[in-house]
Amino acid sequence: MAFEMVTQTSRIEWRISEIPVDYQAAVDAMEARVAAIGAGTEPEFVWLLEHPALYTAGTSAREEDLLDPHLLPVYRTGRGGRYTYHGPGQRVAYVMLDLTRRGPDVRCYVYRLEEWMIRTLACFGIRGERRDGRVGIWVAQPSGAEEKIAAIGVRVRRWVTYHGVALNVDPELDHYRGIVPCGIVEHGVTSLKALGVRATMSEVDDTLRAAFGEVFEVTGGGGTP
């Protein structure tokens, strides 16, 4: 059974799972929590975890982007986006927030998820950037190449969010060879370790929590900040 640390700050409960969590079990838990948040019986929730090595296919996934269907298990999921990879060494953050209180604007919410990743990376000396037409957060290499370091895929049910972000800390990057990540063929993927940052998962978690407070603890209406 996974060791989990649960804390609560303000109206948000945080959970950190210390060993990889089965993907379908995580989805089932999110579904239940989203319903409870919508009913007002449970607080908002952020869950930091890892998964065993696997691929997920979002609602826009194309079969041609699954390059090797036998390399890793594939899970169909209700989040937006195409194929992505999850595995040990990648910090997944499932974010369940009530947008009826924070501003019912999905574009603004995604912008804030991006900002969360950008501020987290900045704490490790990495410049993470948005790119028009490309979901996620990107790092420009000295060669001019651009590589994704954080993926974003969300779903919203009755204005309660779930799924979230995945930050590459030290995953097995070779596992990405089985898919076209997010349908983008001309760019690669990277991680904190590949960029020379040897951060522990605990250090990443602490940074994520601090940056989250900067971005999300101020509630407000719609629109891009």
State the catalytic residues.
182
- Quick one: three-class SS letters along 4-52? EEEEEECCEEEEEECCCCCHHHHHHHHHHHHHHHHHCCCCEEEEEECCC
> 76, 79, 96, 72: which is closest to 171 by C-alpha?
72
3-class secondary structure, 190: coil
What Å distances lie between residue 69 and 17, 31, 168, CA to CA?
28, 27, 22
Half-sphere exposure of 225 (CA within 13 A, CB side): 17
Place of tokens 């953050």: 93
Spatial distance between the Cα atoms of 99 and 78, rounded to a whole number of angstroms: 19
Cβ atoms of residues 90 and 84 within 8 Å: no
